[in-house]
Structure 1
Amino acid sequence: MRRNRKGTIQPTVSITKPPFEEVVERYYDKVLNLAFRLMGDREEAHDLAQEVFIHAFQAYDRFRGEAEVFTWLYRITVNLAKNRYKQLQREREHRWEILEEMDEEEEETEPFEWEDTKLSPETLLEQKELAEAIQKAIDELPEDQRVTLVLRDIEGLSYQEIARIQGCSVEAVKSRLFRARSALRKKLKPFLER
């Protein structure tokens, strides 16, 4: 038995815990995909996914099965992504300070290489610009809206699952999602009008 937020006692529903190796096998790709959508960078996503499973492994003996393993892993992923995102923002701000002090001569540029593809360079550029604009627009959303949007529109989770992961009501999830989608429409309007 446990008490909910309103103080009423509810029976604890326990879900059978699979072996941890099975958890990793079953959910690694989903956690990696979520990490990529939250971070917007493949290397960061791989690092984050590994960190998620390290944290999960360390806490697995304390996992009581009150929620599905899937929901528990997503909550860990979202929390670690929030922390890492804040850390990266601080690092970027520090990097800009250093770059402003550097002379232009010291900056190195990598040679540009065209990808070998059947699409025209113009089409590739348009696709790249759109992908970058979408990721930038998502990155600029307030944290609660960004996480909600990724979990619903990219990961396809239900409102109830998102509410459990974020520890809020379904109404709050719907409100955050509406605000996030509205903000994205405004930011991406030039691309949508093409």
Structure 2
Amino acid sequence: MRGTKQRGDEDLAFVTLCQEGDADAFEHLVRRHQKRMLNIAYRVIGNYDEACEIAQDAFVAAYKNIAGFQRKAKFSTWLYAICINLARNRRKRLTTRHFREGRSLDDPIATPDGEMAVDPPASEPTPLERLEARDIRHHVQGCINTLDVDFKEVLVLRDIQGFSYEEISAMLKVPAGTVKSRLFRAREGMKDCLKKVMGEL
């Protein structure tokens, strides 16, 4: 808790500098949040290239609107809400486009080297561990992609990113009870999907 509060206080210090015209301060905010931003965007959209664009667009939007940030919520909550909204809008456009092209958003799309690099391991795994981990990540992301977007968002924000119900409620602008209900259904959906692809859990 102390670490989270300290990080939030540091964010606000950089935000204040940005609002006073210090452009370099925003670079610090980007470095502090870019990995998590990319992870959220990828988990919601399921496409690495699109996620990179969404994360970049979210930072641009945040920079343009930072003068209006009023500290009613944490900076990170405000920032990731921008990311979620952009990902949601992008997914709608992609769904329409892919429907016309006869393709599915659930088709696996990886980085040029064949796997996502947004969650690097803490220590160097063995080749077998890398293969197993990659296979599991593939199945997990595939199951995430099958969820309705409302369920997917809360699952990503709560179970993968670890945000509180109150933070998610603020990001998505829905009651905390709705967040909990969607999360329950998302978890049930994930459980059913993973049973099918990986066996009984």
Q: TM-score, normalised by structure 2?
A: 0.70
Task: State the Cα distance separating 1:159 from its structure 2 match.
Answer: 0.9
The answer on 1:119 being equivalent to 2:140 is no
User: What residue number does 1:180 align with?
Assistant: 186
Structure 2 distance, partners of 1:114, 1:175, is 35
Task: State the Cα distance separating 1:24 from its structure 2 match.
Answer: 1.6
Task: State the Cα distance separating 1:114 from its structure 2 match.
Answer: 10
The answer on 1:51 being equivalent to 2:57 is yes
The answer on 1:193 being equivalent to 2:200 is yes
From 29, 43, 54, the counterpart of 1:37: 43
Contact 2:143 2:193 in 1 (8 A): yes
User: What residue number does 1:156 align with?
Assistant: 162
Q: What pairs with 1:97-136 in structure 2 (closer than 5 Å)?
A: 118-119=127-128, 124=131, 130-136=136-142
Which has the higher Rg, Structure 1 or Structure 2? Answer: 1
Paired letter, 1:119: L
Structure 2 distance, partners of 1:37, 1:183, is 16
Contact 2:77 2:171 in 1 (8 A): yes
* TM-aligned CA distance change 1:136 to 1:114, over 3 Å: closer
Equivalent pairs, count: 161
* TM-aligned CA distance change 1:192 to 1:159, over 3 Å: farther
Contact 2:43 2:144 in 1 (8 A): no
User: What residue number does 1:27 align with?
Assistant: 33
Contact 2:44 2:149 in 1 (8 A): no
Q: TM-score, normalised by structure 1?
A: 0.73
Structure 2 distance, partners of 1:134, 1:192, is 13
CA RMSD of aligned residues (A): 2.7
Task: State the Cα distance separating 1:49 from its structure 2 match.
Answer: 0.6
User: What residue number does 1:90 align with?
Assistant: 96
Structure 2 distance, partners of 1:127, 1:21, is 33
User: What residue number does 2:146 align with?
Assistant: 140
Structure 1 distance, partners of 2:114, 2:177, is 47
Moved more, 31-40 or 48-57: 31-40
Contact 2:151 2:186 in 1 (8 A): yes
From 72, 75, 81, the counterpart of 2:78: 72
User: What residue number does 1:11 align with?
Assistant: none
Structure 1 distance, partners of 2:174, 2:93, is 25
Identity of matched residues, %: 38
Task: State the Cα distance separating 1:127 from its structure 2 match.
Answer: 5.4
Gaps of 5+ in 1: 1-14, 98-112
